[in-house]
Amino acid sequence: MCAYRRYELIFLTATIQEWKPILQNDELKSIITDSLSFLARDKRIYLCGFCIMNNHMHLLIQVIEPHAIEDVQRDFLKYTAQKILKNLKDNNAELYETLRVDAKDRKYQVWKRNPLSVPLRTEAVVKQKLDYIHENPVKAGLCKHPEDYLFSSAYFYETGEDNWGFITHYIFD
């Protein structure tokens, strides 16, 4: 049975404020993968696909009941933003200052507000989004083949090996 038939898969895109390429450092990308790993281990999500680029990320997730997409998304983005800001404050003050904003509720902002969150209801659309996610680093010139890009689920779909330990194939029983 396919996951997207039992539960709804979500295509989520979160963008760094003003598309700043702050995620060029793999240590910052690891903050995101560590958080995704936690969400999967804690049985809040199934992560069926992902790609973390220098200024945005795409996720293909399925939220596990009783959790709600809004809560998981909010907590994930808030947590990763706090960890990224702390890392930048400690290790790259110049880049940290580029995230300063003039807002009533915060001094710094990592993620652009209102990330794209689209429900996927057919296998064809799921495959199309997964291909789109995996082709991102190729189109950006970061690698020649999708499976060569480390911060992606492309290697899993190409080889069947989950080198992250938290990816679930979008078709599972």
Annotate 114-149 with DSSP letters as a single string.
S-EEEEE-SHHHHHHHHHHHHHHHHHTTS-SSGGG-
Residues 6 or more apart in contact with residue 74 via CB below 8 angstroms: none
pTM of the model: 0.93
Q: Which residues pair with 62 in a beta bridge?
A: 46
Contact status, residue 133 vs residue 4, Cβ threshold 8 Å:
no
SS3 52: strand
Give 59-100 pLDDT, tens digit per residue: 999 999 999 999 999 999 999 999 999 999 999 999 999 999
Nearest Cα to Cα of residue 165 among 37, 57, 26: 37
